[in-house]
Structure 1
Amino acid sequence: MDNAIKLKITGVVRPKEDAKNASITSAIGYTKALTDYIIEYTDNSEVVKAQKESSTINVLNGMEFSPSSDDEKIADAKKYLEGLGVSDKANLFKTMMYSMQSTSNVEDEGISTSMQAGTPDISTMSEEQLAAMLDEYLKSPDDDTLLKIYDAYISTGSYDDNMTTFGVVSLDAPSSISIYTDSFENKEAISDCIEDYNSTANEEDQISYTDYIGILLSSITTIIDVISYVLIAFVAVSLIVSSIMIGIITFISVMERTKEIGILRAIGASKHNISQVFNAETFIIGLCSGLLGVGISALLLIPINSIIHSVLNLDTINASLPLSSAIGLIILSMILTIIGGFVPAKKAAKKDPVTALRTE
């Protein structure tokens, strides 16, 4: 512990009583400076330096990572077993004996039957006795058994495995990058950028990413989409019905003002002028109804947001009506009313002036 890195606690973080979001991902908080220091400290450690100087030899046990032949494996196995202490030899011998007893096919487990011959109950033996039995076997071991012991108990992994175990990290080759956005729109924009890059990059250069928020919200999004489609269907039906009603009302207006149409035609109004009169009326109706609907919706947002804040106890969730959406709704209202009154306006323009003047 004397050689361990000493850290100083500079403060304790506690959430405020009125905090809306007080989640902390770890028990200890630190800056990037500590991360950089640990990386540099590990990179300068003696064991890491020794391993970097010898990329083919495992500095932990002095053996090659990947022996090129069975003879080298056998030599490494003998060297490893002979270099073990009494406790390590006893534990290894006990492990091999238990492995033989737990299977019906002893040779498949990698330990020859010669090791079992005349072996007493190992559970009653001391460490010195177990180590002595392993030493006795090593005086004349068979090569196949040593190879299988090497593969089962001694295989030293690789250079990269050791460097990972030591905690070596390269700042030039990060394993992952975490990207945080302040809105769902920005999150989608980043995902789109990655997809655009992957569509043109080679397979080995493509970026693999995980959209955690997308995974968490995928099921919720599906439910919301279903509800949205149902609401859109209701709205579509309402718009169709309202357009039909506007057409009926305009048609009734044409019938009630037939004589006025005749007078206008008699004083020189053209068919186009008559059509313009009714189209202007439907346009004004659509504009007024759109403004009225948007205005009422904007006023209703005040009590709706108050209810949301009261029920959820959150001030961050709000119902809103964007200006662009409001303008779009007003334009849609005008278009629908003009479409609804188009046929009656055409019918009014085609009326015979003489017949219209005679109509009471």
Structure 2
Amino acid sequence: MGKLQLVNIEKSYKTGNSSIKVLKGISLEFRESEFVSILGPSGSGKTTLLNIIGGLDQYDAGDLVINNLSTKHFKDRDWDAYRNRSIGFVFQNYNLISHQSVLQNVEIAMTLSGVSNSERKARAKEALADVGLSDHIHKKPNQLSGGQMQRVAIARALVNNPDIILADEPTGALDSKTSTQVMNILREIAKKRLVIMVTHNEEIANEYSSRIIRFLDGEIQSDSDPIEKKDSASINQPRTTKKRDKTSMSLFTALSLSFKNLLTKKGRTILTSFAGSIGIIGVALVLALSSGLSNQLDVMQSDTLANFPIMIDTNEQFVDFSELGPPGSEKSNSKYEEFPEDTTIYAYDYSESFIMHKNVFTDDFLSYVENIENELPEEVNNISFTRGVGVNLLAEGTDGVVKFETMSQNSMMGGFSGPSMGFSHWYEMPKDHQFILELYDLIGENSRLPEAENEIAIVVDEYNRLSTLFLEKLALTEEEYDVTDFVGKTMLKLLPNDVYYTEAENGLFTPANP
């Protein structure tokens, strides 16, 4: 029964809009142990066939059968396990890791096989002994000759005990004496397993191979010892499923290999780490500056716009709707061209386009405004209302009881400002305390914002000043005061209308005379 079978294998490579067919329906069968040489000129498809057998390249059509198992439905992990456990590679240029020792180069083939460290070392030493390199296990590849490096590559290919050894021009870079040594090793290996070698050297193939297959233009020209059909009948129906062991590498092994690789070139590692650190720090600084600048702009914008709030009232006003109409409305002066190129000047009576306008506040509109803070929390700092309802706020002044004016006044600072702005000293405080604390500072240890309905906050300017008009109504005439003179003190009294207003004989209600 054959060890390996290729059934109508086809392979093409695309170059631009054209396609080159490299393998044209290749059907071959290999025995369990034989030394097969594949001969042919450059470009005949020899190396492509070797790569497909080794799982390094995928065929376009046909089937590759290994141990009576079809590879048609192999997934990536199946190909990984196949390459790791069934195939051993020997390359012309050795492919050894220069900074690792000979022993480590052979051990690395077993890192994905889940083999313990002690077993890896024992098997690697045994494989190196088989190729006559027991005395060179601690040397680096650059301390070996070409023949010795090729023998290390053969030991690495054998250490996992694969079913098939694939050799691509194994003697191409060696002299005749060294080539003989390498070929003798491969011939000895072929007594126990399948060895497939691609070579241009017909003399070596004739001397060492048990079977020679000649290729030309992607087709088989001759086969010196093909397997008869009657011998291969048992694999005409290959199995398509078989549980394959997954390749695996322990975390410790992965970390150890990574650390060793970093230590091999300390200078480059340090420079790379330093450059990477500079890059990370640079990105972090840019993000920090961007975030900080954005936050500062938000604060500046909030502070600036707090002095210029959007105010909507019910007072009548003249509006030129023809020029400043609602969004989307067309201008009535469409007969005129904007920014004309001619020099004609037209007479225009702008008073004709003005109309009297008054905003109408409905319950729906007021509800909409109240919900804006909830709908757009990031866009609105505060919303306050001014209502035409006054309160009877009295204080005991120098000449008796005085009443403060509290009606129809609003703050230019989002509903909250100092008493020096205007004649009314009283304003409704915004509900958003965070917004207030972003614009104002609390003075004194016991100062806080009002929490109860009968508490007020006194606002001073940037020089800690209060208007004398305000202080005089409280019968305070000194030049200086301390915060403790006000905090926690009772100074005002709020009267209900039934007490403040009295009914005259004529039935009219008049306010009490403070």
Decide: shared fold, TM above 0.5: no
More helix by share: 1
Which structure would you say has the larger RCO, counting Cα contacts within 8 Å and 6 or more residues apart?
1
TM-score after normalising by structure 2: 0.20
TM-score of the aligned structures, taking structure 1 as reference length: 0.26
Q: Which structure is higher in strand share?
A: 2
Structure number with greater Rg is: 2
